Amino acid sequence: MKKTASLLIVFILVLTMIPAMAEGEKIAVICDPVGVNAFLTQVVEKVEELAGTYGYEYRILECPDTDKWQASYDAAVAEEYDLILGVGWQSAEYAAAKAAEVDDSIRFAVIDTDAGSDSVASYSYNEEQAAYLMGAMAGYAFPNETKFGYIGCFEGSGSFKYRWGFMEGVKSVVPDAQITFNYTNSYSDPAPAYDFAKQQQAKGCTYIFGGAAACNEGIFNAALELAEEGKYIYSIGQDTDMTREENPYILSSQLKNTGVTAGIIIDAFFAGNLENGLHVLEMKDGAIGATHITAEGNYLNADIMTDEVIEKCKAVADAIASGELVLEMPASEDDYTFPIF
């Protein structure tokens, strides 16, 4: 009898450790067209994975234009999704507006932006920390270079912390470094990035910061073609590890773990402790970092990313994560002067 009772207690304890299945619960993800954009594929993969854990239904609403963003939020509310998760800066205004219209039976969360609402759980990042690390890496890998390139998606306040962080990281190693900028005005078209990469190489850049999301493939393709001509450029990927043996000119990736963030939000939602307001994730949280420095990579170009370079970069990452190195970013771009060439 005692043995039976003991087994029953153990069985009950085991059951309490298993996440409750959320049959009938529904999650809507609203975002730009996913395609091969690693910033978004991470989120989709995590939502799919956790559906197996919690048993919820989910729907991915992809938005190619502004009208679709509004329509998607309207539809998700009308269909009474329990958690509406927006990904990207576009989601902020729609999440805030809809959250103000409904009661708290529908929860709202956004990733990589601040909705500025006490009714929305906003998750943002201190990307300048990882960008600074990428800049220091560029300086350590190419200490004799003074001209560095940057190719981003869009110019403006949204990209300032990337540009500032990268520039300050480079200057921490190469004080007289200069920079040139180009923007694709797209998250997914590699053609402009390809052209800009060749132009920046012609201007004297050996290292080009790849800050253009899926457009970075244009930089990577340009690097392969230029190498056939005996001209070399090196770059990095964004969001997930892009290093690969067939393209040794991709030295690292600036990691933004949006999948981890989606997991944090969904776990908190089902635990009943998803808190509204702004949550800023940092290097110390493991939400941002860099391939070969804070995380393992697919392929290492050891000729450039030597043990010495990696160890110096790890020291920078540790200093940022511990708070020993505090990055004080200017309030706006008007308060900072880039040494442009």
Judge if 21-125 and 127-256+289-335 fold alike in CATH terms: yes
Q: What is the DSSP string of 186-252?
A: -SS-HHHHHHHHHHHHHTT-SEEEEESGGGHHHHHHHHHHHHHTT---EEEEEES---BTTBTTEEE
- CA 257: distance to chain centroid? 5
Q: Which of 50, 37, 113 is nearest to 83 (CA)?
A: 50
- C-beta of residue 39 within 8 angstroms of C-beta of residue 256: yes
Topology, domain 127-256+289-335: Rossmann fold (3.40.50)
CATH of 21-125, one of 3.40.50.1000, 3.40.50.2300, 3.40.50.620, 3.40.630.30: 3.40.50.2300
**Tens-digit pLDDT string for the chain (341 aa):** 444 444 444 444 444 444 455 568 999 999 999 998 888 999 999 999 999 999 999 999 999 999 999 999 999 999 999 999 999 999 999 999 999 999 989 999 999 999 999 999 999 999 999 999 999 999 999 999 999 999 999 998 889 999 999 999 999 999 999 999 999 999 889 999 999 999 999 999 999 999 999 999 999 999 999 999 999 999 999 999 999 999 999 999 999 999 999 999 999 999 999 999 999 999 998 899 999 999 999 999 999 999 999 999 999 999 999 999 999 999 999 999 999 99
Where helices occur in the chain by DSSP H, the ranges are 2-17, 38-54, 66-78, 91-101, 127-141, 157-171, 190-202, 216-228, 258-271, 307-322
Query: φ, ψ for residue 104 (rounded to 5)?
Result: -80, 15
- What is the rounded distance in angstroms from the CA atom of residue 195 to the CA atom of residue 98? 41
Lookup result for tokens 């990268």: 166
Domains of the chain by residue range: 21-125, 127-256+289-335
> Where does residue 231 rank: exposed (0-12), middle (13-18), buried (19+ CB within 10 A)?
middle
